[in-house]
């Protein structure tokens, strides 16, 4: 049976909306801890568990850790970056891990590649513009920066995981089985051995150690946002199929996420391409599919879950009618 996950955020953190999402087919929800903590999200989490009980659903809570992902710091207000303009490097609050590695000529991608900057001495040339908000992802193209698998905030969050009824941990930017072992040790330390680990494949490093990551994980997450920054976009569908094939061969479940129903952030109906994407992910063997901003910040959270569920179940029916 396919699992259908939304993402918890301001747009859906209301009892009625969460109940409607469950009734539309939602299995569980992701909480992105790059922007908050479990303690700060306590009220949202209680709403989620209450909605699950009212709908007689298990309601799996997934927490997406900070992990070794680079992000900008908080901005006082959104920053408009206009294409073709140059801004001082200091305009963007990069962490020290970023600034220590930046070199003249580097290309920097922000917010899953939505914005692109080129380093020119002490300035940044805006190659692809847009609006930048706090805590968005940073990728220095062609550069791997070695960071610990867990931040101190991650460890605090894991200490509350049992109390908050967390079902699984999504570990970002997994680089090898050592990262997974570190997460398992921290879970065991907090009496959470039954919590599953979903390993996110988001970089070439993860791809190069894919076999060992699959063997050590409870589920693989094909996280196409950052992964699409590390491989050419035209090759990303093939990479997705390669990961899916290896997971099937090892009988390890996998989840597909990122931009599955992006148009529905504003539109009440999906595009044909989006439903094809969901359908193909399920027919390729996905055990779970997930939406992110579509429910966390979108205008139609329950409708999104219905499209996700209806398309996934249509794909399952198709598979049953087309046995190999």
Give the pLDDT confidence of 190-243 residue by residue, as tens digits.
999 999 999 999 999 999 999 999 999 999 999 999 999 889 999 999 999 999
Q: Active site includes 165?
A: no
Give the pTM: 0.88
In the chain, where are the structural domains located? 3-68+147-321, 79-140
Catalytic residue among 30, 175, 184, 224: 30
- Nearest of 96, 120, 97 to residue 107 by alpha carbon: 120
Say which residue the tokens 């779970």 belong to.
Answer: 288
* pLDDT tens digit sequence for 7-24: 999 999 999 999 999 999
- The maximal CA–CA distance of the chain, rounded, in angstroms, is 60
Q: Is the pLDDT of residue 112 over 90?
A: no
Q: Active site includes 258?
A: yes
Q: Is the pLDDT of residue 35 over 90?
A: no
Written as one string, the DSSP assignment of 150-178 is S-HHHHHHHHTTTTTTEEEEEETT--SHH
CATH number for region 3-68+147-321: 3.20.20.60
Catalytic residue among 71, 175, 184, 306: 71
End-to-end CA distance of the chain: 19
- Residue 324 has a pLDDT of 73
Q: How far is CA 84 from the centre of its chain?
A: 30
Q: How far is CA 110 from the centre of its chain?
A: 15
Ordered alpha helix ranges (H), 190-300: 204-208, 210-216, 224-230, 236-250, 272-283, 293-296
Pair 39, 6: CB distance under 8 Å: no
Question: What top-level class would CATH report for the domain 79-140?
Answer: mainly beta
Which DSSP letter does residue 210 get?
Answer: H
Q: Active site includes 189?
A: no
Distances in Å between the alpha carbon of 81 and those of 71, 85, 114, 119, 131?
17, 8, 11, 14, 6
Q: Active site includes 133?
A: no
Catalytic residue among 7, 258, 295, 311: 258
**Rounded Cα gap, residues 171 and 201, in angstroms:** 9
**pLDDT band at residue 68 under the 50/70/90 scheme:** confident
Catalytic residue among 139, 175, 200, 306: 200
* pLDDT tens digit sequence for 234-270: 999 999 999 999 999 999 999 999 999 999 999 999 9
Q: Is the pLDDT of residue 101 over 90?
A: no
């Amino acid at each position: 049976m396919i699992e259908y996950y939304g993402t918890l955020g301001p747009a859906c953190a209301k009892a009625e909306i969460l109940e409607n999402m469950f009734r539309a087919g939602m299995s569980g929800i992701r909480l992105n801890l790059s922007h908050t903590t479990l303690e700060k999200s306590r009220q949202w989490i209680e709403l989620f568990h209450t909605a699950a009980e009212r709908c007689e659903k298990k309601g799996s809570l997934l927490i997406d850790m900070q992990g070794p992902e680079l992000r900008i710091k908080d901005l006082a207000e959104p920053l408009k970056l206009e294409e073709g303009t140059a801004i001082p490097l200091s305009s963007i609050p990069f962490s020290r891990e970023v600034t220590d590695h930046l070199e003249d000529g580097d290309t920097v991608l922000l917010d899953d590649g939505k914005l692109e900057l080129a380093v020119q001495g002490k300035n940044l040339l805006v190659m692809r513009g847009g609006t930048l908000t706090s805590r968005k992802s940073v990728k220095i193209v062609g550069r791997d920066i070695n960071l610990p698998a867990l931040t101190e905030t991650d460890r605090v969050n894991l200490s509350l995981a049992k109390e908050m009824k967390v079902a699984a941990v999504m570990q970002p930017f997994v680089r090898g089985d050592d990262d997974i072992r570190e997460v398992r040790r921290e879970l065991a330390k907090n009496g959470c051995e039954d919590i599953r680990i979903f390993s996110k494949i988001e970089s070439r490093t993860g791809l190069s150690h894919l076999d060992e990551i699959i063997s050590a994980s409870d589920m693989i997450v094909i996280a196409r946002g950052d992964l699409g920054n590390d491989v050419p976009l035209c090759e990303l569908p093939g990479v997705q199929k390669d990961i899916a094939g290896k997971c099937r061969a090892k009988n390890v479940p996998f989840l597909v996420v990122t931009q599955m129903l992006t148009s529905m952030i504003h539109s009440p109906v999906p595009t044909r391409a989006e439903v094809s994407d969901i359908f193909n992910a399920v027919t390729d063997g996905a055990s779970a599919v997930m939406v992110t901003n579509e429910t966390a910040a979108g205008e139609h959270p329950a409708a999104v879950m219905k499209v996700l569920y209806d398309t996934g179940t249509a794909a399952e029916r198709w598979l049953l009618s087309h046995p190999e």
